[in-house]
Amino acid sequence: MMQTTPRLLSLATAVPPYEVGREDAIRLAHRVFGGRSSHLEHLMPVFTNSGIEKRYSCVPPPWYERAHSWSERNRLFIANALTLMERATLDCLKQAGLGVENIDAIVAVSTSGIVTPSLDAQLLNRIGLRPDVQRLPVFGLGCAGGALGLGRAAALAKAQPTANVLLVVVECCGLTFRASDCSNSNIIATALFGDGAAAALLSCTGEGPAVTAWGEHTWPDSLDVMGWRVEDDGLGVVFSASIPALVRRDFRHALDAFLARHDLSLPDIRSFLLHPGGPKVLAALEDALELRNGTLDHERIILRDYGNMSAATVLFVLHRGLKEMVPGRSLVAAMGPGFTAGFVVLEAS
């Protein structure tokens, strides 16, 4: 009998070439915002309390000190996103022992730039995917995109049990930093966000952790919690200070409802692989899940070494978690604009 349970066959990550350390980011913030923001000194502890020691950028740090147009930012996004997507995809396929000709469908997730034809079409031409490959570009999921994209890819694989489905997630968050924006949200984003990409291969044929459940929850009347404002010189970040409180108050209820729909409950989950939005969000998640403080160590290590790469981050956490995955169920989860939580259950034997 043909298997119809999607499996995660391989997963690879990629980061751009410029490493930005914590002290580099602090000095850059002073040069960019110093003398123009009355809130800067009040916000500077975010850089030291973020838990981030370094992250990666697709442009050198001096780039952030100059003004840039929306069109320039987007050109850089397209060029760098495709480079990162290609690296992650080829590494992912190499791990699985497959070639680009073996890909039947591609799900491409990103929210930090806009391109038509979409990133998946651009990648098709760049690396030589088959012309009949099915394409699903996904925009606007923000930090939730890694978990929700994994669910979308699993659904495609389940619907076509012989297909190999490629998920590619890429974010160049640094390109959205705008020196003209002295808002608290933009300065906090400067302290948290970095660039990165991940690629995962799913199929019902092959070996790997089974993807047994996926779903999401969007809170009503929460559109102002997180997102973008389109400005003349780029995308302006919308980032509510209420996010940790919302997570602490409401995340558990949404998760319990998702698990119940799949005849599961929290004690059935052996490990968690969550999007580390920041240290306050991680603390709120531990409270919501009744975990001992510091339990989410994979998340803190990824945050420390890469920063918050929006949608790609949870796949970096998953990549690390796969190296130590023990038999049982793991929950992959992330939250982003909507305000939405995405959930995926993996089962390792």
Backbone angles phi, psi at 178, to 5 degrees: -120, 115
pTM tops 0.85: yes
Could you give the residue ranges of the DSSP H alpha helices within 53-176?
70-96, 119-127, 145-159
Q: What percent of the chain has pLDDT over 70?
A: 97
Q: Are strands 105-110 and 134-139 parallel, antiparallel or unpaired?
A: parallel
Max avg pLDDT among 20-34, 232-246, 313-327 = 313-327
- Tell me how far apart the alpha carbons of residues 223 and 337 are, in angstroms, rounded to a whole number: 7
The whole-number pLDDT of residue 40 equals 64
Give the up-direction half-sphere exposure of residue 302: CA atoms within 13 A in the CB hemisphere. Answer: 29
- Where residue 242 falls among pLDDT bands split at 50, 70, 90? confident
Instruction: Between 23 and 32, name the one with better pLDDT.
Output: 23
DSSP state of 67: -
134 Cβ contact partners less than 8 Å away, ≥ 6 residues apart = 104, 105, 106, 156
Q: Are 11 and 150 in contact (CB under 8 A)?
A: no
Enter the tokens of residue 122: 């651009």
Domains of the chain: 7-203 (3.40.47.10), 210-348 (3.40.47.10)
- Tell me how far apart the alpha carbons of residues 238 and 129 are, in angstroms, rounded to a whole number: 36
Which stretch of 62-71, 125-134, 186-195 has the lowest confidence by average pLDDT? 186-195
DSSP state of 209: -
Q: Which helix (H) or strand (E) holds 258?
A: helix 243-261
Could you give the angle at the alpha carbon of 190 between the alpha carbons of 187 and 195, nearest 5°? 160
Average pLDDT, the chain: 92
- Tell me how far apart the alpha carbons of residues 68 and 80 are, in angstroms, rounded to a whole number: 16
Give the residue-averaged pLDDT of 104-127.
96
pLDDT > 90? residue 156: yes
The whole-number pLDDT of residue 37 equals 56
Backbone angles phi, psi at 210, to 5 degrees: -80, 140
Which stretch of 45-54, 87-96, 130-139, 321-330 has the lowest confidence by average pLDDT? 45-54
DSSP state of 74: H
Predicted confidence (pLDDT) per residue in 196-219, tens digit: 999 999 999 989 999 999 999 999
- Where residue 32 falls among pLDDT bands split at 50, 70, 90? confident
The whole-number pLDDT of residue 15 equals 98
142, 143, 141, 123: which is closest to 133 by C-alpha? 123
Q: Are 108 and 124 in contact (CB under 8 A)?
A: no
Q: State the amino acid at position 244 in one-letter form.
A: P
The whole-number pLDDT of residue 237 equals 81
Active-site annotation, residues: 143
Predicted confidence (pLDDT) per residue in 301-321, tens digit: 999 999 999 999 999 999 999
Q: Which residues pair with 66 in a beta bridge?
A: none
Q: Are 212 and 5 in contact (CB under 8 A)?
A: yes
